[in-house]
Amino acid sequence: MGRFMLLRLRHGLVVVLGVTVVVFVVTRMIGDPVSLMLPMEATPEQRAAFEHQLGFDRPIPVQFASFMADLVTLDFGNSLWQRRPAMDIVYETLPLTLYLVGVALGLAVLVAVPLGVIAALRPGSIVDRLTVFLSLLGLSIPQFWLGLLLIMLFAVSLGWFDHAGNFRADSIVLPAVTLALPALTRLVMVVRSQMIDELNAQYVKTSRAKGMPFLRIVGLHAMRNAAVPVLTLIAWEFIRALAGYTVVVEKVFAWPGLGLAAIQAIERQDLILLQAIVFTVAVMVVAINLAVDVAYKAIDPRIKLD
Amino acid sequence: MSTGSIDASGPGHAAVAAEVDQRGPAAVLGPGAYRGRPHEMFSALRGMGRELWQDKAGFAGLVILVLLALMAIFAPWIAPYDPGKGDLFAKLDPPVWQEGGSWDHILGTDHLGYDVLSRLIHGARVSLTVGVSVVLLAGGFGVFMGLLAGYRGGRTDAFIMRWIDTQIAFPGLLLALLILAVVGPSMITVIIVLAINGWMVYGRMTRGIVLSVRQLPYVEAAEMVGCSGPRVVFRHILPNLTSPLLTLAILEFARIILAEAALSFLGLGVQFPETSWGLDVARGETLMAVAWWPITIPGVAIAVTVLAVNMLASWARITSDPQEREKRFARQLAAREKRRERRERRLGVRPAGVRP
């Protein structure tokens, strides 16, 4: 276990290091941050002063060293747009994104599992085919467009829910539904196919032969056996949502989370805030991956100590 | 060349090969066998076409895609107006079937008088170009790396797999946004960024298949006969990848179209006055309270396109997986049997449930 943890930890560090190198190369070497961040009419003197203030006039290796030192101390400097530490903005917006992702995934699981199981009970039936088709449809609808349609229908026309920001208790409803849909459709597919496989297994036939009620077989045996791949997918959906896939939904609903902060940082050419966000997300993704690996190891002893 | 790809070694190999050369593979190896000649490929394709026709959803998907491709290719001739020019005398015209609409602008116009239908037709170009280029770029690179890793093994394999693992754990979308923000948004940058983000799946899958295939006797035989490395890889191993790769490519195509639309929606893809469905949805967002068509119609176009690709992909997935194929075949058989039974019961040919 210790060796396994150590290996995974090392891999995680490699990932974080890779992300920081990419961020550094993209922002300092490919792009020209000063001309991105300053207005067009800045004089050469102003440019030089600004470069000096940000430390961009130093040699690249020195810049990289100080960049890494900043990362270790979690001090990225002040956001150019809000003129306060970038990490403060991250700390403020991150909980709102976690809240949104949590509600959305909870919703997806609550809907997807019963739907997938019901579809799997009679593969090829009308209910099953309808479920498969609706999942395909759900997978095909662009998320931002779905969000806008929901706003048009439920917020503007019917006025049932709030649609912008996080000011009321019901503000979460529409963004969570929008964020849940693709995850939900993928979950339905996996639950369905896993359950079909399990229900065709020998042990189900044995249980039926000895007279066990069918629903009891489904609930007690088949669903349990189908659970591992489904849990994998749920963990994966969580990571995916955190790794930037809330950006679109947060933008559509003006949900003041990390994704919206990222988009605003891009719109305002605030590379410092953007760096802080990308780094935070990378660390989070690595940490969750690590937690999932360890959880697996604990649940299923068959998984090899790679 | 027709003998080159018959790798089933065993007694009578030479005799079979000679016979195939004389009479063609269909006569010797059964219908649908493809051994490298153009007319033989057509017969294999015909077999696939027949199977696709059986799956109505997959067939519909293919038809929609072909129509879209034609629409994209002939866009300048089909589109009634220039998509990059607005008509300020026709602002916010509704579609033809709605009160106040006219045949001048069948799907209406937006707040600057841009014809929605013309932008829709031209938008297909961007979606399909980005989709095809990204699949080709990412697929080509990924398959190459996968073949390299799987065939060379050892350090090469370890290095490539480590690279893939690391990049998969990246927050890809955020890095894409960062690159687009720094380099500047355009269709080319979108293609490059999406390709950089998407090659890993191909690499992983290719490597897995290469590893499972390369121990088969026929690959060993080819190596022993003295085939060069590239020849073994491309001539003997690569054909095994065709159907799983095709399925993956179709699925990725759907994902890429959605990604391009999302990036353009966020303002980091194609820029106005050029057209892209995602961009047009973003432009319609401001009109949401006054007009439903500028936002709804491009969105429907994206959804229909992606749905068509997904329907084709789910057919391809089942067809390329022998296990799934068997299940499907059994289901079809059972359904046919059931229908026959029901019909016979209705006609009173013989009592239900009694078989001769």
- What confidence tens digit (pLDDT) does each residue in A254-301 have? 888 898 998 888 888 777 888 888 888 888 888 888 888 777 777 666
What is the model's pLDDT at position B143?
93
Interface-testing mutation among A145, A149, A273, with chain B (most B C-beta atoms within 10 A) = A145
What pLDDT band is residue A123 in, cutting at 50, 70 and 90? Answer: confident
| CB within 8 Å of chain A, chain B residues 278-307 | 278, 281-282, 284-285, 288-289, 292, 295-296, 299, 302-304, 306-307
The yes-or-no verdict on residue B352 having pLDDT over 70 is no
What is the model's pLDDT at position A103?
94
The yes-or-no verdict on residue A44 having pLDDT over 50 is yes
- Residues of chain B with C-beta less than 8 angstroms from the C-beta of A156: 288-289
- Residues of chain A with C-beta less than 8 angstroms from the C-beta of B292: 152
| CB within 8 Å of chain B, chain A residues 234-273 | 242-245, 247-248, 251, 262-263, 266-267, 269, 271
Q: Which of A14, A22, A144 minimises the CB distance to B265?
A: A144
What pLDDT band is residue B26 in, cutting at 50, 70 and 90? Answer: very low
What is the Cβ-side half-sphere exposure of residue A151, based on CA atoms within 13 angstroms?
25
Q: Which of A148, A151, A248 minimises the CB distance to B262?
A: A248
Phi, psi (degrees; rounded to nearest 5) at A191: -60, -45
- Residue pLDDT, tens place only, A133-161: 899 888 899 999 999 999 888 887 777 77
CA distance B199 to B142: 5
Mean pLDDT of the region A192-198: 87
CA distance A170 to A119: 31
What pLDDT band is residue B243 in, cutting at 50, 70 and 90? Answer: confident
Nearest residue to A81 (alpha-carbon basis) of A283, A276, A265, A211: A265
What is the model's pLDDT at position B42?
65
- Residue pLDDT, tens place only, B173-204: 888 888 888 888 888 999 999 999 889 999 99
Of A106-110, B16-20, B91-95, B179-183, give the range with the top mean pLDDT.
A106-110
What is the model's pLDDT at position B350?
57
A262 with B266: Cβ contact below 8 A: no
B288 with A152: Cβ contact below 8 A: yes
The yes-or-no verdict on residue B66 having pLDDT over 70 is yes
What is the model's pLDDT at position A18?
85
What is the model's pLDDT at position B230?
85
- Residues of chain A with C-beta less than 8 angstroms from the C-beta of B268: 266
Residue whose structure tokens are 């604990």: A298
Start-to-end Cα distance in chain B: 51
What is the model's pLDDT at position A302?
62
The yes-or-no verdict on residue B235 having pLDDT over 90 is no
Q: How far is A193 from chain B (nearest CA, A)?
A: 11
What is the model's pLDDT at position A106?
94
What is the model's pLDDT at position B144?
93
The yes-or-no verdict on residue A218 having pLDDT over 90 is no
Instruction: Point out the least confidently predicted range of B28-32, B291-295, B303-307.
Output: B28-32
What pLDDT band is residue B349 in, cutting at 50, 70 and 90? Answer: low
Helical ranges in B104-171 per DSSP H = 116-152, 154-168
DSSP B80: S
Of A6-15, A248-257, B128-137, B184-193, give the range with the top mean pLDDT.
B128-137
CA distance B133 to B139: 9
Query: Nearest-CA residue of chain B relative to A152?
Result: B288
Start-to-end Cα distance in chain A: 10
Tell me what the pLDDT averaged over chain B comes to: 80
Interchain contact B197–A (C-beta under 8 A) = no
What pLDDT band is residue B28 in, cutting at 50, 70 and 90? Answer: very low
Q: Contacts by A223-229 with C-beta closer than 8 Å and gap 24+?
A: A223/A117, A223/A195, A223/A198, A225/A198, A225/A201, A226/A191, A226/A194, A226/A195, A226/A197, A226/A198, A228/A299, A228/A300, A229/A190, A229/A194
Phi, psi (degrees; rounded to nearest 5) at A85: -50, 135
What pLDDT band is residue B140 in, cutting at 50, 70 and 90? Answer: very high
What is the model's pLDDT at position B3?
37
Residue whose structure tokens are 């749920």: A234
What is the model's pLDDT at position B5?
39
Instruction: Point out the least confidently predicted range of A39-53, A154-168, A251-265, B35-49.
Output: B35-49
Phi, psi (degrees; rounded to nearest 5) at A59: -60, 150
The yes-or-no verdict on residue B33 having pLDDT over 50 is no
| CB within 8 Å of chain A, chain B residues 116-175 | 162, 165-167, 169-175
For B140, B162, B215, the CA distances from B158, given in Å and listed in that order, are 20, 6, 19
Tally of residues, chain B: 356
The yes-or-no verdict on residue A239 having pLDDT over 60 is yes
Tell me what the pLDDT averaged over chain A comes to: 83
The yes-or-no verdict on residue B31 having pLDDT over 70 is no
